[in-house]
Amino acid sequence: MNSEKPNVKINLEDLATFCKKKGFVFQAGEIYGGLAGFFDFGPLGVELKNNLKNLYWKEFVQKREDIVGQDGAIITNPKVWKASGHVDTFGDMLLTTKDTKTKLRADHFIEDELNMPGDALGPKEIEDLIVKHNLKYNGEDFELPIQFFSGMLNTQIGADVSKQSKAYLRPETAQSIFPNFKIIAETSRQQLPFGITQIGKAYRNEISPRDFVFRCREFEQIEMEYFYHPESVCEELTQELLDTKLKILTAKAQDDETFEMIETTIGDLHKDESYKLNTFHAYWLAKYYNWLTNEVGLKPENLRVRQHVQTELSHYSNATFDIDFKYPMGFKEMLGMANRGNFDLTQHQQHSKTKMEIFDEKMKSKAIPNVIEPSMGVERFMMAVLYQGYEDDKERGNIVLNLTPKVAPYKVAIFPLVNKAGLPEVAREIFNELIDEDIEVLYDKSGSVGKRYARADEIGIPFCLTIDFETLGQSNEDDSEEVKAEKLANKDSVTIRDRVTGKQTRVEIENISAIIKNLVKGKVDFDLI
Ligand code: GAP
């Protein structure tokens, strides 16, 4: 049985409704009924996605000297996909019903019917299960044997229809990195070990796109290929990284069908040779796990690592570990981390007749490098962040989206208390200053402040600023002298409110941008400002 069903605080349909209502994401071509597997990202969705991608880029490209970026074409020479093995082997098992010829993805059908993970099942095992349990779809039998269905999305290139040549929309961003590996190593003067990363769209002709943005036909990937000499060890694998604690669903627990997770450390997984987690693989698994929990703010209880069982390993992989998130439909893959060995570079060397060897200065020898590949879907990443953050706060009477400030679409909302009497002018000035400081700000001038707080909570804004009459140093005629003095002392300050605690305090206008920056980075506690 698939282990640990989540406490569903919101189901998938309601999450999709929330995302549409708030402008995070909706179906592409919605007014025409949409198109299965394709989505458009609205104003908040695009900000959230950009923040997630920028956070990654900062951590894994800008902060490091050994990783560089690229932006490859979505359509490339089709020979790339022949060499990589995608043309011949990339796809899923297809079940077709006998009468109505309904098409189903075989592993998903088994998951739904028998409530067991389908990832690890091969065609023969699925056929046996169908026979053993006499499985049907809407009373219909299936055509057997199971068919292979290519996941490649094709297109045609060229103006002359008779000579048009077939090409593919890339099913992964990775394959535009491998053929560029030598050019990039040379032009960016990289020595082994080093990585090339990119963020971009990928396309798959999924048989059954489903689970909101979890399985789309167009999606975005954040992928990195980290190249190292096959005989080298990762010198960056510190004891601190080895001590990273996590829960893992091992291949054995899946083979034995116990599905019991064990608590362990990256160090223990690395020591036990049966996991085939070499030093570079261990390093990247630990790096990602720590980044997701410490920087992005995903809670360890919402994550698990899952080792791929032998039969489900992709054609290129020696060992793969997924980091799964606890989505409304249970633990599912958010990212995969594969040891691709030298499969891809060797294939491209053979097919293109271009040498892919490189000299390693430290190892003093030439080799085709091995590769560790962390690969994450932006939509699944975004869905995890949104699902974890979603809270129906009964006390406040509104939804609160508890996003880590670093990923929140807006870091701060600005409210002039009323839309007159000089308050909008001050609010605009602050707004402009924060924008100049690269802080994402939402200006909201309508409704009561309580309503504006609720709206900000619902879209995950961590801090709100209210510009009131005290900001202008004004008081009411009937205020006591003491109150008047207090209000005057508040001149050039605004109220700042923390979403998490609801606490409020006043801050000087001249300090706002520095304070917001420090709050967002987690460098200062709200109580201490
Ligand atoms: N280059 C390796 C690769 O593409 P994958 O496991 O097929 O491996 C990597 O995909 C990641 O891309 C997954 O962990 C997932 O986050 C995302 N992904 C894959 N297929 C997807 C789909 N149909 N819709 C949304 N995200 C998808």
| Helix residue ranges, H only, 71-177 | 79-84, 86-89, 106-114, 123-132
CA of 216 to the centre of ligand 1 (A): 10
Question: CA 453 to CA 466: how far, in whole Å?
Answer: 10
Q: Which residue has the tokens 């005290």?
A: 470
Q: Is the CB of 298 under 6 A from ligand 1?
A: no
Burial level of 379, CB count in 10 A (0-12/13-18/19+)? buried
- CATH code at 410-528: 3.40.50.800
Q: What pLDDT does 1 receive?
A: 40
Give 293-351 pLDDT, tens digit per residue: 999 999 999 999 999 998 888 878 889 999 999 999 999 999 999 999 999 999 999 99
Instruction: Return d(Cα 248, Cα 264) in angstroms, integer.
Output: 7
What are the domain boundaries of the chain? Answer: 12-90+152-387, 92-150, 410-528
Tell me the CA–centroid distance for residue 123 and ligand 1, in Å. Answer: 21
Q: With contact defined as beta carbons under 8 Å apart, do 92 and 106 qualify?
A: yes
Ligand 1 proximity of 178 Cβ (cutoff 6 Å): no
What per-residue confidence (pLDDT) applies to 7? Answer: 57
The CA dihedral of 367, 368, 374, 377, to the nearest 10 degrees, is 160
pLDDT digits (tens, 9 = 90+) for 490-500: 889 999 999 99
Give the residue among 286, 281, 285 at the shortest CA–CA distance from 371: 281
- Name the residue with the closest Cα to ligand 1, atom 17: 377
The per-residue pLDDT for 448 is 95
12-90+152-387 fold = BirA Bifunctional Protein; domain 2 (3.30.930)
Please identify, by atom number, the ligand 1 atom nearest to the C-alpha of residue 216. Answer: 24
Measured CA to CA, the distance from residue 136 to residue 401 in angstroms comes to 42
Query: Which residues of the chain register pLDDT less than 50?
Result: 1-5
The H-assigned helical ranges of 190-315 are 239-242, 251-255, 266-271, 279-290
How far is the centre of ligand 1, averaged over its atoms, from the C-alpha of 148 (Å)?
A: 19
Say if CB 53 and CB 378 are below 8 A apart.
yes
Nearest residue CA, atom 9 of ligand 1?
A: 375
Up-side HSE of residue 388: CA atoms within 13 Å toward CB?
Answer: 23
| Coil vs helix vs strand at 202 | strand
Are the C-beta atoms of residues 142 and 35 closer than 8 Å to each other? no
